Structure formats: C-alpha cells, structure tokens
Amino acid sequence: MGNRTQLMDEMNRLRHDLLLMGTRVEESLRKAAEAMRTQDVELAREVKADDELVNALQLKIEDQAAMLIATQQPVARDLRELVAVFKATDNLERSGDHAVHLAKAVIKLAGEPPFRHIERLERMANSGCEMVRGAVGAFLARDAEEARRIAALDDEIDHEHKAVVDEALGFMRDHPEQIERANRIIKTAGFLERLGDHMTNLCEAVVYMVEGSHVELNE
C-alpha cells in the first residue's frame, strides 16, 4: 500500500510539471503571435529566452518518468500513462521550438511593412494555442473523446496554412522583388502547421493512454 501511495504522489508531481510545461508552451506561442501582430522585437526575444525553461521541464519530467518505470513497478494503466508522458513532452518541446521559430521570423521581418497574411497566421497561432491547452487538459483528465475533439482543430490550421501558401505564391508572381519576404511567410506558416501536427500526436498519446490502442487522428 505504501508503494502505491508513493507512486500516486510521484505521478501527481509528474502531471503538475506536465501542466506547467504545456502552460509555458502556450504562453510562448501567444507571445510570439502578439509579437508578430505588433512587430515587437523585444517580446519575440522573450520567447527565445523562455524556451530554455521548456527544455529543462522536458528533461525533468522524462527523468522522473523513467525513474518511476524502473523503480515503482507500475500496473498497466499507470505504465501506459508513463509511456504516453514521453510522447507528450517530446511533442510539447517541439511545439515550443516552433513558437521560437515564429519569434525568429518576427525579428527578421521587423521594420518591414505589415503583410496582408498576418490575420491568417494569427488564426493559425490562436488555434495552436487552443490545441496545446486542450491536448494537455485531455491528458490530465484522461479524456479520449476530448483528445479527438482537439485533434480535429488541426483541420482549421491546415486550411489556413494552404490559404497562406497560395496567397504568398500569388504575391511572389505579382511582386518578384519580394520573393525572399514571401518565402519567410511560407516558412512561418509551415512552423504553425507542424505545431498542429505535434498536438495531434499528443492527442493520439491520450487515446493510447486511456484506451490502450494506437490510433491515427486526422488521417
């Protein structure tokens, strides 16, 4: 009984740290989106600095999960959660990286006239924030149906991504002197599109944790 209590206490600490990691990634993405909208270079630089904490949390959580697997003999349900933790932290860390890429794009584009695609990029970032928050929430609530609902939001990001790329390619044709700028916009949209993919992966980990089956969402 004592070992089980200790395992539950450690699992709760692990979940707390995972929530903190998810919150940090969401904050970074919101900051990056705000910096893009306002061309705030200093705010974009904060995103780059905050990424170190996200990386540190990933290492802490994964070390803790590995220790629990090795020393606490978790039962099947707990073991699935611990295995899913590794997928969750990996995809959160990669999503944090994409927030940093967005912030770097803000710095590179600073001082240039606002581009007409910014509203679509903002919608992609807002959907990304909702996916980060929702995917982590579904993980902590062990809610597979909520995970499926959150994964479906990736369709919205994909739709906006396609529209941005199409518009940027048209902009290139009309303004060949602006090809480099349009390329940066396409790359920026790509970072946000991949963030949606990573949150879909996290949602798949939730379904595995709860139902014990491997699924591919948003095929």
Q: Is 142 helix (H, G, I), strand (E, B) or coil?
A: coil
Amino acid at 1: M
First-to-last CA distance in the chain? 43
Residue 176 domain-assigned (yes or no): yes
Residue 217 domain-assigned (yes or no): no
Residue 61 domain-assigned (yes or no): yes
% of the chain with per-residue pLDDT over 90: 64
Residue 219 domain-assigned (yes or no): no
Structural domain boundaries, residue 53: 2-211
Backbone angles phi, psi at 39, to 5 degrees: 55, 40
Q: Is 113 helix (H, G, I), strand (E, B) or coil?
A: coil
Maximum Cα–Cα distance across the chain: 71
The pLDDT, as a whole number, for residue 49 is 84
Residue 216 domain-assigned (yes or no): no
CA distance 182 to 203: 32
* Domain count for the chain: 1
DSSP 144-183: HHHHHHHHHTHHHHHHHHHHHHHHHHHHHHH-GGGHHHHH
pLDDT tens digits, 81-130 = 999 999 999 999 999 999 999 999 888 877 666 666 788 888 999 999 99
Residue 187 domain-assigned (yes or no): yes
Question: To the nearest whole number, what is the mean pLDDT of the chain?
Answer: 90
pLDDT tens digits, 24-56 = 999 999 999 999 888 899 999 999 888 999 999
Residues in the chain: 219
Residue 120 domain-assigned (yes or no): yes
CA distance 176 to 180: 9
Quick one: CA torsion of 195, 201, 205, 208, rounded to 10 degrees?
A: 160
- Distances in Å between the Cα of 48 and the Cα atoms of 21, 94, 188, 217 are 15, 13, 15, 31
CA distance 170 to 73: 58
Q: Which of 54, 139, 138 is nearest to 92 (CA)?
A: 54
Tokens encoding 210? 């709860």
Residue 179 domain-assigned (yes or no): yes
The pLDDT, as a whole number, for residue 59 is 96
Say if CB 20 and CB 96 are below 8 A apart. Answer: no
The pLDDT, as a whole number, for residue 202 is 97
| CATH of residue 197 | 1.20.58.220
Amino acid at 71: T
